[in-house]
Amino acid sequence: MNRGRARWSVCSKTTSAIALTLVLLSLASCSGRPNVFTESRDERLRRLDEERARLDRTTDAVGRTRAQIRISDLLVSLMGDAVGDNDMERVEERVRQYRESITDARDTMMNSGRNAESNAAGFRDLEIALRQHVRQLEDIGMGLTFQFREPFETLIDEVTMIRDELLGALFPAREDA
C-alpha cells in the first residue's frame, strides 16, 4: 500500500511541476507584444515599414498609440543592432525616430480627451512599454563609450519623464486622501 502512495506522490509532484511550467509559460506569453529581439534585422525592418503604414491609416487614439508602441519596440531593437555594429550615425537616427514615436504616442493619449483613470487603455499600454524600454535602453547603453553614453542617458531620462507623466494620469493624487 505504501508503494502505491509513493508512486502517486511522485506522479502528483511531476504533474504539478509540469502544470506550473505550462502556467508560467502561458503567462510569459500574455504580453501581446512579440519579443522583437528574436527576429532577424530584415524581418524587423519589414515590420517597421508595415507598422508605419498601419499608423498612417489609424485614426483611433488607442490604435495609434499601440502602433507607435510596436514601432518604438522595433526601434529599440534596431538601436541595439546599430550599437553592436558601432554605427553611431545609425544609433543617433534610431534615437531620433524613437523619441518622435514615444512623444507622438504620449501626445496622442494626453490629447485624446480620454480619462486615464477610468479608461486606461492606451495609457497603460504605453506606460508598460516605456518601463520595458528603460531597462532595454540601459542594457544597450552599456555597450557605448562614455562619449556616446551621455546622450543615451538623456534619452532614458526623457522616457522616464513621459512614463511618470502617464503614471500621474493613471493614478492622480487624491485631494481627499
Q: Could you report the per-residue pLDDT of 75-97, keeping only the tens digit for each?
A: 999 999 999 999 999 999 999 99
Share of the chain above pLDDT 70, in %: 79
Between CA 145 and CA 141 the distance in angstroms is 8
What's this model's pTM, rounded to 2 decimal places? 0.79
| Domain total in the chain | 2
The pLDDT tens digits of the residues spanning 121-138 come to 999 999 999 999 999 999
Residues 26 and 83 in one domain: no
Same domain, 24 and 50: no
Cα dihedral 26, 31, 34, 35 sign: negative
pLDDT digits (tens, 9 = 90+) for 2-34: 555 555 444 455 444 443 343 333 333 444 556
pLDDT on residue 7: 52
- Quick: pLDDT tens for 131-177: 999 999 999 999 898 888 988 899 999 999 999 999 999 999 865 55
Same domain, 110 and 163: yes
Q: Looking at the structure, do residues 145 and 114 belong to the same domain, yes or no?
A: yes
Helix (H, G, I), strand (E, B) or coil at 154: helix
The boundaries of the domain holding residue 4 are: 1-30
Q: Is position 84 within any domain?
A: yes
Domain-embedded: residue 40: yes
Q: Is there a domain that residue 66 lies in?
A: yes
Query: In whole angstroms, what is the distance from residue 52 CA to residue 134 CA?
Result: 22
* Residue 40: alpha-carbon gap to chain centroid: 18
